[in-house]
Amino acid sequence: AEDGYDLWLRYKPLPEAMRGEPRIVGQPPASGSPTLSLAYGELRRGLDGLNPDEPGLDAPSIRLVTPSQSDTIAAFKLSMEGLGGEGYLIRTVQGGRLTVIAANTDVGVLYGVFHYLRLMQTGASVERLDVRSAPKVRYRLLNHWDNLDRSVERGYSGQSIWDWWRLPDVKDPRYADYARANASIGINGAVLNNVNAKSDSLTAPYIAKAAALADTFRPYGIKVYLSARFSSPIEIGGLKTADPLDPAVRAFWKTKADEIYKAIPDFGGFLVKANSEGQPGPQDYGRTHADGANMLAQAVGPHGGIVMWRAFVYSHEQPDDRAKQGYSEFKPFDGEFAENVIVQVKNGAIDFQPREPFHPLFGAMPKTNLGMEFQITKEYLGFSTHLAYLGPMWEEVLKADTFSAGRGSTVARVVDGKLHGYSRTLMAGVANIGTDRNWSGSQFDQANWYAFGRLAWDPEASAEAIARDWAAMTFTPDKRFTGPAAAMMMGSREAVVDYMTPMGLHHLMGRSHHYGPGPWVAGGERADWTSVYYHKADKAGIGFDRTAKGSDAVGQYAPLAAATFSDLSKIDEKDLLWFHHLSWDYRTRSGRPLWDELVSRYSRGVRRVGEMRATWTSLAPYVDPERHGEVATYLAIQRREAQWWRDASVAYFQSINGLPLPKGEAPPP
Ligand code: GCW
């Protein structure tokens, strides 16, 4: 059935005109590694699927090459320099008769095979190739917020795919399918369990389960990591404290790390959420984030492991603007984190909103390895029922200029380590994977998993090119399909911004579930968990003043960035109400008063979803009925709920400002 299980690796026969000459593939060397046999197997599978024609005896061939075949490398003068441990080259030689896919390691060859097949899948010519590619980011990780009871925090695609109960004995074939899909986009690590972690995950039975997964993932170049609960020494170590400077606590973590590495020799390391949203952490003992992170780093360091320490911290006891708290807590410790620590920073300062300006920590910690955390699962963008391709959102953040070392100091260059010369680089994505047959909850949410991997490999890649590749691989390379489909995808996130939170508004989603509109929610025990905290609407105006006159969150950015955000004549209106509180009749660039502009954007969002539906209907001839129908049903839900968002938000703001609807705008029912 066309249920989406095959993701972007369907390998259906290409249209005749795109097939080219069939190719001969050699046999894997008898002494080859499991990874190398996977590479050969994948190539065979891809070629057989995409081009079922029989190759003739003198057909062109493909050869996979590692440094052990030094004669081939010498014969074709292949330069392996700069490919590192994961890069590859693909080159056609012998007047087109032979294509070599070469790398310094077997996993590099596997990546090269996937690249070669991608070219075929997208209808590109493979007659004359000269490709070189190496990842710009070293740790390209999925973060699973999967609990040990198989529920998934913020997961919208079924249960966790980790069947903890049956592990380690039963290895669901799905684990290998998962690893293969990740390898196809260059993901090389997975944090198995939720950052809101349970100490149980570090006990012997769970270490054995993690080890079983690691064994399955290893040939695909994927390492296993675990989220660690900071208070584990108390809960599973029998200690009275988890103080990171206490010798017994340090000994606990060292012994624990040794135990894990015995079971998983290539264990990647720990991810930690500490002193955030009620999680335990070093501050419980008057210690710092650096004290906590460095203690763990010392435990895994001798084994080659790392610690990813999250900067997503805020507390309602802290009266300061929530957007400022991460920076305030981390910036003072720049230079104090161990070399094998990476501080993991969300793309924006609040929380995975449909749009946020880049996090002010990027560019502000030149002496601390900083990594990016994106959220693939769409907690704030309509879960898996709304179609929102996140490529443009991530691209927008990565391309943003921090100005921290002059013009061109983009977030991408912070994350790939070039700007500050980081020793370790990281891009993490909170996974959207679950037990649903289509893995991600919807067909189009697969594109977000896919795009994350591609951007982690190359943070400067184009979201649009990635969308085209994905659409071609997942449906058909026919340009009459990929053009409109990619255009629909590219506009989809902006539509969500429009109907949910236009012009810099944020966090107006229904309380705790974060699905539908909830700009009105007031009261409750925590000021920062209510929407009014964020929009600050009253009779006179709307928006959060983060300029020097307000919370001065702008002061956390480099002067040039701060000056742009602060200046009403310079700021991009997409961020307007994130930084400014303005009167309802403030004149926007369209010439319309703010209120009219806001309403027009809400309505535009709804209209755009209508256009997406029309586009999708017109693409029916190119898509199997099963997946076409499923997407169409989801789009109908989205259209209805976009209207709900627009109507509820407009009606709510009217109840505050008492203003009539702008001319031509339909009233909420
Ligand atoms: O986005 C928020 C979520 C929480 C999550 C937290 C975090 C894992 O609402 O569910 O907890 O952020 O990132 O730690």
Q: What is the pLDDT of residues 361-414, one digit of tens each?
A: 999 999 999 999 999 999 999 999 999 999 999 999 999 999 999 999 999 999
The verdict on 151 and 115 lying in the same domain is no
Residue nearest to atom 1 of ligand 1 (CA): 351
For the chain, give the percent of residues with pLDDT over 90.
Answer: 94
Q: Which of 113, 133, 153 is the last residue of a domain?
A: 133
The verdict on 352 and 319 lying in the same domain is yes
Answer yes or no: is 79 within a domain.
yes
The pLDDT tens digits of the residues spanning 126-184 come to 999 999 999 999 999 999 999 999 999 999 999 999 999 999 999 999 999 999 999 99
- Are 309 and 244 a contacting pair, CB within 8 Å? no
The verdict on 424 and 523 lying in the same domain is no
* Between 129 and 315, residue with greater pLDDT: 129
Residue nearest to atom 13 of ligand 1 (CA): 312
Torsion, Cα 80 83 87 91, to 10 degrees, reads -40
Q: What CATH code is carried by the domain that includes residue 202? A: 3.20.20.80
Three-state DSSP class for residue 146: strand
The total domain count for the chain is: 3
- List helix spans (H) across 188-246: 204-217, 232-235
Residues in the chain: 669
Answer yes or no: is 51 within a domain.
yes
The verdict on 348 and 415 lying in the same domain is yes
The pLDDT tens digits of the residues spanning 210-231 come to 999 999 999 999 999 999 999 9
- The pLDDT value recorded for residue 530 is 74
b (16+ CB within 10 A) / e for 185-206: bbbbbbbbbbbebbbebbeeeb
**Which residues are CB-neighbours of 517 under 8 A, at least 6 positions away?**
500, 508, 509, 510, 644, 645, 648, 649, 652
Answer yes or no: is 572 within a domain.
no
259 is an active site residue: no
The verdict on 335 and 363 lying in the same domain is yes
Answer yes or no: is 534 within a domain.
yes
CA of 224 to the centre of ligand 1 (A): 21
- Ligand 1 lining (C-beta closer than 6 Å): 145, 153-154, 195-196, 273, 277, 312, 351-352, 379
The verdict on 428 and 381 lying in the same domain is yes
Q: Is the pLDDT at 522 greater than 80, yes or no? A: no
Q: Is the pLDDT at 529 greater than 70, yes or no? A: no
379 is an active site residue: yes
d(CA 451, CA 388): 12
Answer yes or no: is 575 within a domain.
no
Answer yes or no: is 568 within a domain.
no
Answer yes or no: is 573 within a domain.
no
- Mean of the per-residue pLDDT values for the chain? 96
Residue 524 pLDDT class (50, 70, 90 cuts): low
Residue 486 pLDDT class (50, 70, 90 cuts): very high
Q: Is the pLDDT at 527 greater than 70, yes or no? A: no
Element (H, E) at 174: helix 173-184
CA of 512 to the centre of ligand 1 (A): 10
C-alpha R_g of the chain: 26
Residue 531 pLDDT class (50, 70, 90 cuts): confident
Mean pLDDT of 590-606: 98
Q: Which of 88, 113, 133 is the last residue of a domain?
A: 133
Answer yes or no: is 551 within a domain.
no
- The pLDDT value recorded for residue 468 is 98
The pLDDT tens digits of the residues spanning 13-62 come to 999 999 989 999 988 888 889 999 999 999 999 999 999 999 999 999 99
Token pair 């620590």 is at which residue?
Answer: 341
- The range of the structural domain enclosing residue 610 comes to 497-544+581-657
Nearest of 219, 193, 191, 409 to residue 307 by alpha carbon? 191
Query: What atom in ligand 1 is closest to the CA of residue 514?
Result: 9
Give the chain's end-to-end CA distance (angstroms, integer).
41
Q: What CATH code is carried by the domain that includes residue 647? A: 3.90.1330.10
| Residue 24, φ and ψ in degrees, nearest 5 | -95, 135
The verdict on 267 and 383 lying in the same domain is yes
329 is an active site residue: no
Nearest of 540, 547, 551 to residue 561 by alpha carbon? 547
The verdict on 401 and 529 lying in the same domain is no
Please report the ipTM that was assigned to this predicted complex. 0.99
Query: What is the CB neighbour count within 10 angstroms for residue 564?
Result: 18
Residue nearest to atom 11 of ligand 1 (CA): 196
Please tell me whether the peptide bond between 168 and the residue prior to it is cis, using omega within 30 degrees of 0. yes
Q: Which of 133, 155, 173 is the last residue of a domain?
A: 133
Mean pLDDT of 264-291: 98
By most ligand atoms within 8 Å of CB, the mutation choice from 144, 151, 153 for ligand 1 is: 153
Q: Is the pLDDT at 525 greater than 70, yes or no? A: no
The verdict on 121 and 152 lying in the same domain is no
Query: What atom in ligand 1 is closest to the CA of residue 195?
Result: 8
Residue 584 CB-half CA count within 13 A: 19
- Are 636 and 386 a contacting pair, CB within 8 Å? no
Q: Annotated catalytic residue: which of 351, 396, 458, 647?
A: 351
The verdict on 392 and 539 lying in the same domain is no
Nearest of 166, 253, 270 to residue 212 by alpha carbon? 166
* Between 223 and 668, residue with greater pLDDT: 223
- Are 338 and 302 a contacting pair, CB within 8 Å? no
- The pLDDT value recorded for residue 613 is 98
The verdict on 27 and 66 lying in the same domain is yes
The verdict on 468 and 512 lying in the same domain is no
**Which residues are CB-neighbours of 485 under 8 A, at least 6 positions away?**
467, 471, 475, 615, 619
